[in-house]
Structure 1
Amino acid sequence: MNVVPSFHQLLTPKRLAILEAVLIGLVAAIAAVSLKRGIDWLGGWRLQESLIAPAWLLLPAVGLAGGLLAGILVDWIAPEASGSGVPQVKAALAHVPLALNLRVALVKLVSTLLTLSSGFVLGRQGPTVQVGAALAAQLSRWVPASPDHQRQLLAAGAAAGLAAGFDAPIAGVMFVIEELLQDVSSLTLGTAILASFTGGVVSRVLGGPGLRLGFDPLRHQTDFSLHQIPFLLLLGVLAGGFAALFNRGIVTTLRFSRRQVRLSLPIKIGLAGLISGLTAALLPPVFRDTNHLQMFLTVGNADWTMTIGAFVFQFVLTLVACSAETPGGLFIPSLILGAALGHLVGMAEDTLLAGQGQPVLYGLTGMGAFFGAVAKVPVTALVIVFEMTTNFNMVLPLMIASVTAYLVAEWLAPGSLYTHLLELKGIHLELGTVSDGLWARLKAADVMQKTVETLSSQMSLDEVVQAFSRSHHRGFPVVDEGKLVGIVTQSDLDKIAQRKLPGTALLQEIMTPHPITVHSGDTLSHVLYLLSRYKLSRLPVVDHRRLVGIITRSDILRVESDKLRGGADPIKPRAEPSYVVYQTRSPATGQGKILLPLSNPQTAPGLLKLALAIARERNYEVECLQVISVPRHSSPAQVGVNTAASRRLLAHAARQAKNWRIPFHSQIRATHSVSQAILETVQEEHVDMLLMGWKGSTSTPGRIFGDVVDTVIRQAACDVVLVKLGEDWADVEHETTETTALSQASVHTLIHWMRLKRWLIPIAGGPNSQYAITLLPALVSLTQNPEIRLCQVFPRTKAPLNIHTLEADAAFLRQRLHNPVTMIPVCSDSVAEAVIDMAQKDQCDVIVLGASREGLLQQAIHGNIPEAIARHSQCTVILVRKAIS
């Protein structure tokens, strides 16, 4: 009897990988060809019109318009599409959670089309790498895949994008291995090769040659002989030296632009296009198109002055474009610069040897040498030039010059350019983060929670409901006699009402029997695949049906976060719940509760005064928390801790609260994780507001406010108020925990608060900004005759300013405070810089602002307004975030 195999049987993992690789290569090729045809069409129109209309007017105008439109697209829709795109792909392959999806791919395509067709001297191959990777990432979301497989698809997309851009399939694979992935596993290599060759072949069929070098092996001599070795070594040294200068120039100009040029991204890119257009208009027509310029240099038609001019033109305008973070790649500029250097060396040889030189050979060799030195990929550079020329005579010259250039560039400017560009955005790729195979190396036993709350299948449904109400867990494994028999989640509780089950019914009536499980030896890659494939939030870990642990998505995110913060340290066991080692209670007479974690005796009096003022205004109670960290290998419930200093600090705080007649509670917790202890207290004590100190900046890579504050502000369900005390607080507070010293510090604190007269409140109309306005009366209650300045920062525009929100907030504060309130509308391209300048100009004592609405990762990469204000302001900064709904 013949059995027809099912679809899932036919589509084995290996066959699925082949299908995905071919599909990625096909889509990447179509995108690359579309970009190439679009640039040829629009760029051709620009060149043709520049021969008819005045070039000095048309070229700058087109450059300005194209830059503005591209900048608006990137700035408004996909900030991840700025620059060349290769650094973003490298970060994504190193497990940095940057956005790579269909949105990024489309914006990258359109913005690159606009910039390159309007005269920017950049290339399209870098963008096609990001486009290919972004399309592959989107595919990996549509088809459930493990993290390792997603990473392999990203690598395949990047390889296909480069192959389609250059018509160089082998070079696409080599670039991914040499620079991006640094992984030669069989599956990764096979997927990348198949996608790369598909992209290269389809691109060649649909779009023709990727680059028009004008090289003809029958017409242009490229024979290699021994007397050329000194000249090739000279070319390698020149290419390496100028490549190092080129890399340092890109990093320096980009850093200068971000710190000193206070313009929006569209304005920056528009001005870069204007400069490029003006420069091209002043030079011969060959400089107006990068394809023609590259052909001009490689086939040996340029003289000395033209070649030097081409080098300077390309070098300077590439730095201008890169400083504005223009969408466009660095591959073509590197090839043109290398061709110019090679042509100069070839002409020098021709002069010294009386017409026996080969400028074409040196022009092509210089392309590979300079590109390999800039990107630090000498093998890829050799392969690209060889695939474009298909000339075996080029191999030895390319090897000599490329290796020499790479060694010189690495000596003068060590490290990858793309890594340096990521570091400018605060993303630090530690050694080994790209190649360590994190998800394949870690096992379920490394990250699972070994202490698991379980239920019995013989429990009544009333008992199950009570268990859920007492716990923050959303699901429990069901265990009988030590063996896993099922799992029950909150969604299973709906079956009680749907099936009208009595409370005396047993748990086995609603639980899910035979749940999906993993073994302790399974890789984390397999665990993530199951979580994604079946849309689960947790998986029991078993050994021969015996439950040994459980893994949740938060456990995996914790591991990823620890890895991204740079630790090469071994994965630590998951933190156990915090343990209350000391506690005092007062009558619960308030209408809400403020949680005040205290850690630094210097800042404790100031934070306590602020908490008491808010509690008095809102009729809240104050819960004061001291957290004592214990080693991960010790249990918080069992380790001995010294609470003497903490209890003195809490006792002083209790006396202050008694003087204010505020209900006061206190507790000391032992914990593995400070942030976890704070979050557990928020949940257990039903806290309405969390008030805590904040240093104002952090040196931890990938963090905005610091490890603890970042976690708390992201996860705490209550209102959050962060306070960065001004620099002059150090003059009135003492580094001691003694009661007498604390009392003295409290007097100074009250005096200091009374000196905080000038308050600056930036508003933006969002929920956090409006909440800061309602909180202000409590904040200024310790200040005598406060001066309130409400400001709103508007973008520079000719349209009339809408100050309705500003007027409404000012009227509210005047009614509540009975004090003058000044309204200050400001026009600026940067909110942070406008607020900082205003605070310094008016000598403000306090800045109160709402938390940004952007995601924390986006803030880290593209600039966090509260962090920037706090870092550059000497006054006190208070950041308010309304409760997460």
Structure 2
Amino acid sequence: MRTPASLVQSFHQLLSPKRLAILEAALIGLVAAIAAVTLKQGVYWLGEWRLRETFIVPVWLLLPGVGLAGGSLAGFLVEHTAPEASGSGVPQVKAALAHVPIALNLRVALVKMVSTLLTLSSGFVLGRQGPTVQIGAALAAQLSRWVPASPDHQRQLLAAGAAAGLAAGFDAPIAGVMFVIEELLQDVSSLTLGTAILASFTGGVISRVLGGPSLKLGFNPLAHQTVFSPQQIPFLLLLGILAGVFAALFNRGILATLRFSRQRVRLGLPMKIGLAGLISGLTAALLPAVFRDTTNLQVFLTMGTASWQMTVGTFVFQFILTLVACSAETPGGLFIPSLILGAALGHLVGMAENTLLAGQGQPVLYALTGMGAFFGAVGKVPVTAIVIVFEMTTNFNLVLPLMIGSVTAYLVAERFAPGSLYTHLLELKGIHLELEAMGDGLWARLTAAEVMEKNVETLTSQMTLDEVFQAFSRSHHRGFPVVDEGRLVGIVTQSDLDKVAQQKLSGNALLKEIMTPRPITVNPGDTLSQVLYLLSRYKLSRLPVVDRRKLVGIITRSDILRVESDKLRGGPDRVKPRAEPSYVVYQTRSPATGRGKLLLPLSNPQTAQGLLKLALAIARERNYEVECLQVIPVPRHGSPAEATVNTTTSRRLLAQAAKQAKVWKIPVHTQIRTTHSISQAILEAIQDCHADLLLMGWKGRTSTPGRIFGDVVDTIIREARCDVILVKMGKGFAAMQENNSTPGQASIHALLHLMQLKRWLIPVAGGPNSRYAITLLPALVSLTQNPDICLCQVFHPSDQTHDTRILEQDAAFLRQRLQKPVTTVPVCADSVSEAVIDMAQKDQCDVIVLGASREGMLQQAIHGNLPEAIARHSKCTVILVRKAVS
């Protein structure tokens, strides 16, 4: 049976890109509409059941009980199945559109639908339109996973899904598009608009056909036509000011209560939402029946007949209970509460005008204007607010009142509560979209021609394999374009050289027999976004840049990382001059007697002593030589080979390292390099000295936006073709730093006893780096006298299997190698990092040994990274291990 992914890929092969985009947009609109109608009908049916039961069961028992049960069940579902489905869902979509790695998929869509159905039908005073935005975007994101698409196109599909979700929720196709443009995407490119418009139109029309009108008003908009007159302008301005003030208070209240709930209320999500449902149910039970359903409130306020006491009560009721629900991160939207609050304010202003003008006022006009004004001020989307109310009423006489009220409310709200509410909600989670948008904008602005390396080393297809091997040995490049008569005919990489042995080719064979013909290429005008898409989709490290088959340059992942790094450090948008190779200005050599080589970059004199002693200990255990490296950065406008530098301090540090190594009787080589890029100099040193292992210090945190370990270490851990060990020095190193005496003939055990590295904690995950950390551990703990070793494996509560086979296998391996006891501890926790930190603090561990994560560093930068989180919050030493990349 064919999977949905294979079916979609078949369509992808049959249709042109433009036709496929039309099909995708229509499909997204259809699916979003079906989801929105299903949610609407489900809320209506369950809500009607709840109201009918109030005639049988006492309301003081039924309403709080249903609110508690429904809220708790929804919270349990969200917490244990899809935490991304909490809240309104709009902030998550906004973050995803800014390339923040937040999960949006079929699982999130289903959980969002069910949890919203439970909360709204249980009496929470929230809306379903915000959730339909996330549901539509999540379904579109799932589709984009089935269809290979560039990052730009995936983003456009997400925007189309969000637009379709809002359009289906409000039966307002134009408003769906406007909301995406005004709040979520800030992009008006032709493809984005076309996809979003088609998806939004499809979603709005199908939703109206299948489910009828989305919102119920207290009057017939076709029969009741409001009239606008200039004398209403002062009252409309007053309404705008009131709506802006209360909207600002509303936004600040949501942020304040949410912050208070997270910091002070020590309850799980099910209990929080259940408690909010209990409060909502108790409040509704004490008030008239009209307050028990948001649909009744909409009708009640737009009829124009409500008393001012009831209107004020509605406003207070809706305002407070919305804050209560939001403080618990209840699945549900803010659109409907905003509309009801605005209608209440507008109705009060309309009643005031009616009193002052002796019955000449129009409360209905002000109620509808207030809906748009309050909604626009809360979401900071005045144009969307105008369009939504207009599409609901189809009354042209409302356009001018809506413009006056909405713009005034927006300006006032921006004065007292600046910025988007959804952006502030993301900031509470540590997500700052400005940084993310910067990176995406940079990728969209820069082209391959601006970043590529123009001076490309090339080979010809007629070269012999012996000549090819010599070319690779002379260069630090891991691949070469193959060019004949100026035209690109292929590419050869180090992996292609494996074909020589597999095919048993002689050294006189020609390069064309092993090269990759017709390689993937890019044009000079292609954006970095397109380049990244091709690099990721085909798992490449470099792409030739061709202009009508003529090779004009080459672009690598390192080039893109360099540009992004320059921008994140606050550099200009223009591309800086490409870094030249580093240059060795000082070098000493010792006899090459080791079986391998350990490269040790030294930069900080305060940590150099501790890193050196650890490097020497590992080198003695493995019979390695040690290469100590000092890197001196020079400005990019000058050549490293011509720069004038002072090497006195660097040579003194290296001399101390050589003296220490002499006592240990370990060969130590030293070198000083000048460079434009520290990471590039280290990578070149690895290549030149054929290092088997790189040992570097790591401060355990970084202040550089968008980086996990920092600019240098991020690049090294990605690209170094040797084993890497990062060491964050904890309290155990303090004693060693203070004691600078040489060990003489003392044992290594005595040295490590000085370092106080006795209690070792090793989280087991089963990945290649985690496994490598286990195999490396005997060499590390053999340096410690009577080490206390504990292996732990963290299981998520949703994982019912708790398979500890990997844990027991690793423990058996260590017991056999060390002939010492090894403790195993399976742990059940939501967060791996928090569980490891708690264990380290509880057991007073001295060292935590981690395998580096296999996922992309930049993708993890938003939500945090496991090694970074553990190192940041642990006071002990943290050692991060990563196998050599192939």
> Partner of 1:738 in structure 2?
none
RMSD between aligned alpha carbons? 4.6
> SS in structure 1 opposite 2:656?
helix
> Partner of 1:61 in structure 2?
69
- Aligned residues: percent identity? 79
Task: Tell me the distance in 2 between the aligned counterparts of 1:708 and 1:470.
Answer: 25
Residues 194 and 724 (structure 1), Cα distance of their counterparts in 2 relative to 1, 3 Å cut: same
The question of whether the paired residues in 2 share the 8 Å contact of 1:67 and 1:273 is answered with no
Letter in 1 for 2:93: V
The question of whether the paired residues in 2 share the 8 Å contact of 1:772 and 1:850 is answered with yes
Task: Tell me the distance in 2 between the aligned counterparts of 1:799 and 1:458.
Answer: 60
The reply to whether residue 676 of structure 1 matches residue 680 of structure 2 is yes
Letter in 2 for 1:723: V
338, 342, 348: which one aligns with 1:338: 342
Task: Tell me the distance in 2 between the aligned counterparts of 1:769 and 1:512.
Answer: 34
CA distances 1:685-721 after superposition (whole Å, capped 9, x unpaired): 5545433222232222232332223333444465544
After superposing the two structures, state which structure 1 stretch, 641-650 or 320-329, moved more: 320-329
Task: Tell me the distance in 2 between the aligned counterparts of 1:16 and 1:808.
Answer: 50
The question of whether the paired residues in 2 share the 8 Å contact of 1:66 and 1:114 is answered with yes
> SS in structure 1 opposite 2:699?
coil
The question of whether the paired residues in 1 share the 8 Å contact of 2:101 and 2:862 is answered with no
> Partner of 1:420 in structure 2?
424
Task: Tell me the distance in 1 between the aligned counterparts of 2:779 and 2:493.
Answer: 42
Letter in 2 for 1:398: L
> Partner of 1:867 in structure 2?
868
CA distances 1:166-204 after superposition (whole Å, capped 9, x unpaired): 111111222222222323344433333233222211221
How many residue pairs get aligned? The number is 868
Task: Tell me the distance in 2 between the aligned counterparts of 1:772 and 1:461.
Answer: 37
CA distances 1:442-482 after superposition (whole Å, capped 9, x unpaired): 23210112232211122124433565677675643222354
Residues 147 and 66 (structure 1), Cα distance of their counterparts in 2 relative to 1, 3 Å cut: closer
The question of whether the paired residues in 1 share the 8 Å contact of 2:65 and 2:278 is answered with no
Q: How does 1:182-581 map to 2 (within 5 A)?
A: 182-217=186-221, 222-258=226-262, 268-269=272-273, 272-273=276-277, 275-277=279-281, 279-280=283-284, 283-300=287-304, 302-353=306-357, 355-430=359-434, 433=437, 438-439=442-443, 441-464=445-468, 467=471, 475-488=479-492, 503-509=507-513, 511=515, 517-524=521-528, 538-543=542-547, 546-552=550-556, 555-556=559-560, 559=563, 568-581=572-585
CA distances 1:197-226 after superposition (whole Å, capped 9, x unpaired): 222112211222122233323676743344
> Partner of 2:79 in structure 1?
71
Task: Tell me the distance in 2 between the aligned counterparts of 1:566 and 1:321.
Answer: 40
CA distances 1:329-352 after superposition (whole Å, capped 9, x unpaired): 322222222223323333444455
Q: How far is the alpha carbon of 1:243 from its aligned partner?
A: 1.7
The question of whether the paired residues in 2 share the 8 Å contact of 1:613 and 1:781 is answered with no
> Partner of 2:163 in structure 1?
159
The question of whether the paired residues in 1 share the 8 Å contact of 2:794 and 2:829 is answered with yes
> Partner of 2:185 in structure 1?
181
Task: Tell me the distance in 2 between the aligned counterparts of 1:97 and 1:829.
Answer: 19
Q: How far is the alpha carbon of 1:406 from its aligned partner?
A: 0.6
> Partner of 2:726 in structure 1?
722
The question of whether the paired residues in 1 share the 8 Å contact of 2:848 and 2:878 is answered with yes
Letter in 2 for 1:318: T
> Partner of 2:6 in structure 1?
none
> SS in structure 1 opposite 2:605?
coil
Residues 103 and 165 (structure 1), Cα distance of their counterparts in 2 relative to 1, 3 Å cut: same
Residues 472 and 725 (structure 1), Cα distance of their counterparts in 2 relative to 1, 3 Å cut: same
> Partner of 2:132 in structure 1?
128
Q: How far is the alpha carbon of 1:754 from its aligned partner?
A: 2.4
Task: Tell me the distance in 1 between the aligned counterparts of 2:663 and 2:23.
Answer: 73
So what's the TM-score if we normalise by structure 1?
A: 0.83
Q: How far is the alpha carbon of 1:652 from its aligned partner?
A: 1.0
601, 613, 625: which one aligns with 1:609: 613
The question of whether the paired residues in 2 share the 8 Å contact of 1:518 and 1:541 is answered with yes
The question of whether the paired residues in 2 share the 8 Å contact of 1:455 and 1:477 is answered with yes
Task: Tell me the distance in 2 between the aligned counterparts of 1:526 and 1:814.
Answer: 50
The question of whether the paired residues in 1 share the 8 Å contact of 2:101 and 2:859 is answered with no
Residues 71 and 9 (structure 1), Cα distance of their counterparts in 2 relative to 1, 3 Å cut: closer
Residues 8 and 314 (structure 1), Cα distance of their counterparts in 2 relative to 1, 3 Å cut: closer
After superposing the two structures, state which structure 1 stretch, 814-823 or 30-39, moved more: 814-823
So what's the TM-score if we normalise by structure 2?
A: 0.83
Residues 881 and 482 (structure 1), Cα distance of their counterparts in 2 relative to 1, 3 Å cut: closer
Task: Tell me the distance in 2 between the aligned counterparts of 1:520 and 1:291.
Answer: 57
Task: Tell me the distance in 2 between the aligned counterparts of 1:277 and 1:567.
Answer: 55
Letter in 1 for 2:65: L
> Partner of 1:4 in structure 2?
none
The question of whether the paired residues in 2 share the 8 Å contact of 1:215 and 1:389 is answered with no
> Partner of 2:7 in structure 1?
none
The question of whether the paired residues in 2 share the 8 Å contact of 1:129 and 1:158 is answered with yes
Q: How far is the alpha carbon of 1:423 from its aligned partner?
A: 3.0
The question of whether the paired residues in 2 share the 8 Å contact of 1:762 and 1:790 is answered with yes
Q: How far is the alpha carbon of 1:608 from its aligned partner?
A: 1.8
Consecutive unaligned residues of structure 1, counting only runs of 5 or more, are: 1-6, 735-740
The question of whether the paired residues in 2 share the 8 Å contact of 1:32 and 1:128 is answered with yes
Letter in 2 for 1:171: A
> SS in structure 2 opposite 1:627?
strand
Q: How far is the alpha carbon of 1:88 from its aligned partner?
A: 3.5
Task: Tell me the distance in 1 between the aligned counterparts of 2:14 and 2:195.
Answer: 19
Task: Tell me the distance in 2 between the aligned counterparts of 1:518 and 1:448.
Answer: 11
Task: Tell me the distance in 2 between the aligned counterparts of 1:504 and 1:812.
Answer: 47
> Partner of 1:650 in structure 2?
654
Task: Tell me the distance in 2 between the aligned counterparts of 1:822 and 1:518.
Answer: 54
Letter in 1 for 2:177: V
Consecutive unaligned residues of structure 2, counting only runs of 5 or more, are: 1-10
Q: How far is the alpha carbon of 1:389 from its aligned partner?
A: 1.2
> SS in structure 2 opposite 1:723?
strand
CA distances 1:432-451 after superposition (whole Å, capped 9, x unpaired): 94799655532321011223
Task: Tell me the distance in 1 between the aligned counterparts of 2:477 and 2:375.
Answer: 54
> SS in structure 1 opposite 2:433?
coil
> Partner of 1:3 in structure 2?
none
After superposing the two structures, state which structure 1 stretch, 384-393 or 350-359, moved more: 350-359
CA distances 1:263-322 after superposition (whole Å, capped 9, x unpaired): 665665555555555555555554443333333333346544544444344334433444
After superposing the two structures, state which structure 1 stretch, 383-392 or 673-682, moved more: 673-682
The question of whether the paired residues in 1 share the 8 Å contact of 2:871 and 2:878 is answered with yes
Task: Tell me the distance in 1 between the aligned counterparts of 2:90 and 2:459.
Answer: 50
Residues 253 and 808 (structure 1), Cα distance of their counterparts in 2 relative to 1, 3 Å cut: farther
Residues 811 and 364 (structure 1), Cα distance of their counterparts in 2 relative to 1, 3 Å cut: same
The question of whether the paired residues in 1 share the 8 Å contact of 2:699 and 2:728 is answered with yes
After superposing the two structures, state which structure 1 stretch, 86-95 or 774-783, moved more: 774-783
The question of whether the paired residues in 1 share the 8 Å contact of 2:353 and 2:360 is answered with yes
CA distances 1:625-673 after superposition (whole Å, capped 9, x unpaired): 2222233344445545443322221221122122223333333333333
Task: Tell me the distance in 2 between the aligned counterparts of 1:795 and 1:300.
Answer: 54
Q: How far is the alpha carbon of 1:398 from its aligned partner?
A: 1.4
> Partner of 1:756 in structure 2?
756
Residues 803 and 479 (structure 1), Cα distance of their counterparts in 2 relative to 1, 3 Å cut: closer
Q: How far is the alpha carbon of 1:495 from its aligned partner?
A: 7.6
> Partner of 1:737 in structure 2?
none
Residues 685 and 332 (structure 1), Cα distance of their counterparts in 2 relative to 1, 3 Å cut: farther
Residues 622 and 215 (structure 1), Cα distance of their counterparts in 2 relative to 1, 3 Å cut: farther
Q: How does 1:144-155 map to 2 (within 5 A)?
A: 145-155=149-159
After superposing the two structures, state which structure 1 stretch, 359-368 or 487-496, moved more: 487-496
Residues 109 and 446 (structure 1), Cα distance of their counterparts in 2 relative to 1, 3 Å cut: farther
After superposing the two structures, state which structure 1 stretch, 194-203 or 136-145, moved more: 136-145
After superposing the two structures, state which structure 1 stretch, 320-329 or 840-849, moved more: 840-849
Letter in 2 for 1:87: P
